[in-house]
Structure 1
Amino acid sequence: MAELQEIYEKVKNLISYDDFVAKVEERKEALGGLCDDEMCARLVLSDLGISATEREVVMIESIDENSGNISFVAKVLTIYDPREFNRADGTVGRVATVMAGDSTGRIRISVWDAKVDAIENGEIKTGSSINVSGYTKRGLNGPEVHVGNNGVFALSDEEVNYEIPVRKIDEIKDGMNDITVLGKVLDLGQVKTFTRKDGGEGRVANMTIGDPTGTIRVSMWDDKAELVNELDIGNSVKIQNAYSKVNNFSQKVEISLGNSSVVEIADSEVEYEQKFLKVSEITDGMNGVNLSGVILDISDVRTFNRKDGSEGTIGTITIGDDTGKIRVSLWDDKTVYLDEFDFGESVDIINAYSRMNDFSQSVELNVGSRGNVTASEKEIQYMEKLDNINDILPGKSYSIQGRVIEIGDFREFERDDGTQSMVSNIEVEDDSGHIRVSLWGEHAELVNNVQIGMTVRISDAFSKFGMNEEIELSAGNRTRIAIM
């Protein structure tokens, strides 16, 4: 037994003496007693990836898919729930996935069958130092180590140092794997279902997180999608083992969570200060726009049919700050905000995107699935920017203030769709010139309340060529008119 003890010294950090002796006995029984204790002990060394003459304990950074049988010591970073499966021969197998690391890197470990016991009974858990002896294979994201019944997956007395490299959001590029990032939850979407190419049903949900360097969208797939129901806006979270890719629609890098990804509440608060723009700073084609403003106008919700036959909804608000005003379109489930706010209230528009309206030739904001509207605590002052009548060009929206110098007739008419409407007109002048204003719908009744010489303010009227190819303003649904 002295020779057996001497051989065991080579693997004492990988396996207990009792387990080692048990493996020697298993070898002897498998060989029908044709080898002695020393020979069987050396065969067990080989099973454990240890040379009979020299211990070969490696660091994780040196492991590749061709390393074969290897042994190493590591710290458990993440353990995923074990699962059972049916083999071709009808027997039931078990497997668990473990992420482990040392001072040189991290690696995925697949633990099979009886070796799963140490996880299920709580002996090995996150933070444990472990001895591992197994064989390497090519995995989806690099080399993996597989530990079967002849391998080692046991606690180690050795202290392993491992610090997870945490990425800043602005460091995340396309095609990265094994990402760990800290961020504050800025927006939470809803769980949506979709049909995969194979006909199966999938689930996905999205959230947006931010840190001092920026923001990024996080897509959570299948079981991970339910995390949106467990988190709240404002939570600081730690995301581990994620991967990144470019969204084909937005052309922005996003994080995706798969089966092996982990999201947990961070140990400390993540600092994030949203950058807010002024209306005058918003240009066409911007994403991730944050804007504070006071509500100037609220529309009704209307439905429409998309190209794929599905039904969508849209509503609009107009908000303004001390530099101007802008129209904001709220899409689908975001139209609920129209009922939550009223004229004159201050709001924060979060994570919107800007597009040019081809009809009005004005830049507008859009709040889609990634956007949000919340009550603002800021004191926002809006000063209407008034245009000189002489500066008006066709094809844009304008706001003017001037004296009424002519009042036209009021008449009712029937639209092409058979509905009834109203129209009238007035002529308005300021110090720079004068212009005809056509008043449509409810605005037409203004002629019953206004008199020559009164001052009116007309906001968001659209300019176009009218009679005699002269430019005139058209006051429609978006227009606001006040008698001063």
Structure 2
Amino acid sequence: MNTDRLVKEILKKIPKEELERRIEKKIKESGGLISREAAISIIASELNIDINDYVDEEEFNFSIMDISEGQSNVEVTGKIVDISDIREFRKRDGSLGKVRNITIADNTGAIRLTLWNDKVELVEDLEVGDVVRIENAYVRKWKDRIELSSGINFTIEKLEKYREENYPEIKEIYSVRELMPDMRVRVKGKVITVYEKKEFKRKDGTSGKVKAFILRDDTGIVRCTLWDDLSEVELNTDDVVEVKGYVRKGLRGLDIQVDSIEILKKGETIESPIVDTSQLPNYIGEIISIRGRILRIFPTRTVKFDDRERKVQDVILMDKYGKVRVSFWGGNIQKLKNVKEGDTVLIKHCKVKSYLTPEGEEFITLSAQSYSEVVKDDTVEVPDFPEKLIKIGDIKYLDEKFKRDVTTVGRVIDIQDIREFKREDGSTGKVRNIVIEDETGKIRVVLWDENATIDIKEGDIVKIINGYIRENRGVMELNVGRYGKVIVNPENVVVDIKRKFIGDLEIGDSAEIRGTVVGYIKQDLILYLCPHCNRRTTLNEEGRYICDKCGEVEPREVPVGALILDDGTGNILCRLYGSVVEKVLNTSREELKNMEVVVFERILGEEYVFSGTVNNRSEFIVRGVLSFNIDKEIELLKKIKDSMM
């Protein structure tokens, strides 16, 4: 190509300073792979200058990057970067055929050319480094990549005259930055990550083995893959190696399919400081080792990214200063196969990571590396901390950091149906709400996915482990997600809600009572409360709800009721709110909005079991309502009678 004439034409359109700036930018964007002359050609094309007028006769203007599937009669010029030996194969008619591959490259890319039968002889006098003209080739797709193939009228000719800057330099050793797909190369660098060897079954039923590692030099990193016998080579982080192989384009970038590997220098043994959980904030981004007891091993789960899916398994590790989550991704999951909950271990070589919670608080986790080890260690001294059960009434007083890890016990007083929903990634999730209570209060529990399908019945005692608190429209909820656990009716666990006669109730009592509805108080059936301060709102003439403190609001609609319950020893005014009203009347909130308070007439004379607390006005504030079961009532009455004797 006559570059001088091309430059003169470009300068008719842009100033010389602008041309120099663009040339420097093009070379920098390519990582230094293209020459000044190639950059000038690209700039000319962008300025709609027909560079065909400036091409020397010997070279085609058609670049390797322009080759696409389905083309025929392809004419292209390239430098030979690899030539294979001739291989024979048996054709379908029983005769012998021959095949040979060469790879050519220019500054835009590389491509493999397959020569068949008599065409293999056309490259007998050619060698790596020769620049050739190819005519009448056709493009085919083979194993998800396009390549050239020799047709009937195919020709290949060595060029004696060409511009060297249009083609890559043939090197003994390539840098990572210089790699292009379909090249056969030798690369030297340091091993920074080694993945575990995997075994697999081929389509023909035979077994295969594969192991991958990440290689780094001064210009970048590249994945290298070792197959079968090569996968047995012992590699460690920081080993210096030289690999020879074929470069292909994988899902995550370039990948060298290694033909041979030589370890030039063994890396030093990796050592990382052993720290405890209290020291982790001082090691963000660094590699450490940690000792402790495995409290929880969570099920393996799949995480979807934009371009792939990966499996991960988490554990919770505890030492005498606290707890931390350790994540094992992909092949690292195998490191957990010989440990169980309760084991004391040393986990070597974890990366310390941190992120901020929505409240702005730092949260620290650990991530196992490919060279991490999980070693059982009976010498680890971890105290047997008694499990800290939080009373339901105390949850609202927890500091924010403790609201991420709540363990509590309660009796189920309400259960809703399982609902399915669609996540943003298209997958289906499940969710179910239950309400639990103890003697201090009640709380709604949100069960997600697998936890939503656990068999739970009204009256069951449930233990929630590793739940987390969220607010939903101003209401505090206890969520049980992938790190949480639900145990139904755990052994030796009771919820101490005492059954009392109404006549024995005192102010401040938290108890369970049973009685007959003998009356109700006439009042509004729905309260419209401010979602911010929980005060009553008023409806103005324009149909808007106004809070005296917060102004115009969209109110919370809360069903309310006031029933008089009598058990023969006395009677008491019982105040009911929200879902308790819906359950007693067996009527939804939407339906109640269109009803009057006389709807309570339907339950006069009915018997109920209420749990709740006596306030300072001697009213019973109902937390929950349980279904009436005559057999349980007889058993309870016997226990009450025995306790009084």
TM-score, normalised on structure 1? Answer: 0.51
Count of residues paired in the alignment: 316
Which amino acid in the other structure matches residue 438 of structure 2? Answer: D
Question: Which residues in structure 2 correspond to 1:230-379 (within 5 Å)?
Answer: 230-247=338-355, 251-268=362-379, 270-273=382-385, 274-283=387-396, 285=400, 286-337=403-454, 339=455, 341-358=456-473, 361-374=474-487, 376-379=490-493
Q: CA offset at residue 264 of structure 1? A: 2.9
Cα 1:363/1:459, change in 2 over 3 Å: farther
Q: Is the 8 A contact 2:609 2:625 kept in 1?
A: no
Name the CA distance, whole Å, in 2 between partners of 1:86 and 1:442. Answer: 65
Which amino acid in the other structure matches residue 289 of structure 1? Answer: V
Can you list the C-alpha shifts for 1:273-314, whole angstroms capped at 9, x where unaligned? 232222222127411112233444443322223455432211
The equivalent residue for 1:137 is: none
The equivalent residue for 1:216 is: 324
Question: Which residues in structure 2 correspond to 1:395-474 (within 5 Å)?
Answer: 404-406=517-519, 427-428=563-564, 440=582, 443-444=585-586, 450-451=604-605, 456-458=608-610
Which amino acid in the other structure matches residue 351 of structure 1? Answer: N
Q: CA offset at residue 450 of structure 1? A: 4.3
Name the CA distance, whole Å, in 2 between partners of 1:86 and 1:280. Answer: 53
Q: Is the 8 A contact 1:407 1:427 kept in 2?
A: yes
Q: CA offset at residue 440 of structure 1? A: 4.3
Q: CA offset at residue 189 of structure 1? A: 2.6
Which amino acid in the other structure matches residue 482 of structure 2? Answer: S
Q: CA offset at residue 109 of structure 1? A: 3.4
Q: Is the 8 A contact 1:178 1:242 kept in 2?
A: yes
Name the CA distance, whole Å, in 2 between partners of 1:357 and 1:241. Answer: 40
Which amino acid in the other structure matches residue 255 of structure 1? Answer: L
Name the CA distance, whole Å, in 1 between partners of 2:603 and 2:572. Answer: 25
Name the CA distance, whole Å, in 2 between partners of 1:311 and 1:152. Answer: 49
- Pairing 1:170–2:170 present: no
Q: CA offset at residue 262 of structure 1? A: 1.8
Which amino acid in the other structure matches residue 373 of structure 2? Answer: V
Name the CA distance, whole Å, in 1 between partners of 2:574 and 2:426. Answer: 47
Cα 1:218/1:163, change in 2 over 3 Å: closer
The equivalent residue for 2:315 is: 207
Q: Is the 8 A contact 2:517 2:603 kept in 1?
A: no
Q: Percent identity?
A: 25
Q: What secondary structure is seen at the aligned counterpart in 2 of 1:334?
A: helix
Cα 1:424/1:204, change in 2 over 3 Å: closer
Q: Is the 8 A contact 1:218 1:257 kept in 2?
A: yes
Q: What secondary structure is seen at the aligned counterpart in 1 of 2:342?
A: coil
What 5-or-longer segments of structure 2 have no aligned partner?
A: 1-192, 198-210, 216-221, 244-261, 503-511, 522-558, 588-599, 613-619, 634-645
Cα 1:318/1:259, change in 2 over 3 Å: same
Which amino acid in the other structure matches residue 240 of structure 1? Answer: K
Q: CA offset at residue 369 of structure 1? A: 0.8
Q: What secondary structure is seen at the aligned counterpart in 1 of 2:404?
A: coil
Cα 1:280/1:230, change in 2 over 3 Å: same
Cα 1:335/1:272, change in 2 over 3 Å: farther
Q: Is the 8 A contact 1:347 1:376 kept in 2?
A: yes
Residue number among 381, 388, 395 corresponding to 2:495 in the alignment: 381
The equivalent residue for 2:529 is: none
Q: Is the 8 A contact 1:208 1:370 kept in 2?
A: no
Name the CA distance, whole Å, in 2 between partners of 1:278 and 1:313. Answer: 27
Q: What secondary structure is seen at the aligned counterpart in 2 of 1:172?
A: helix
What 5-or-longer segments of structure 1 have no aligned partner?
A: 1-77, 99-107, 115-147, 155-159, 389-398, 409-422, 461-472
Q: CA offset at residue 253 of structure 1? A: 0.7
Name the CA distance, whole Å, in 2 between partners of 1:277 and 1:441. Answer: 27
Name the CA distance, whole Å, in 1 between partners of 2:436 and 2:304. Answer: 39
Q: Is the 8 A contact 1:322 1:380 kept in 2?
A: no
Q: Is the 8 A contact 2:277 2:321 kept in 1?
A: yes
Which amino acid in the other structure matches residue 490 of structure 2? Answer: S
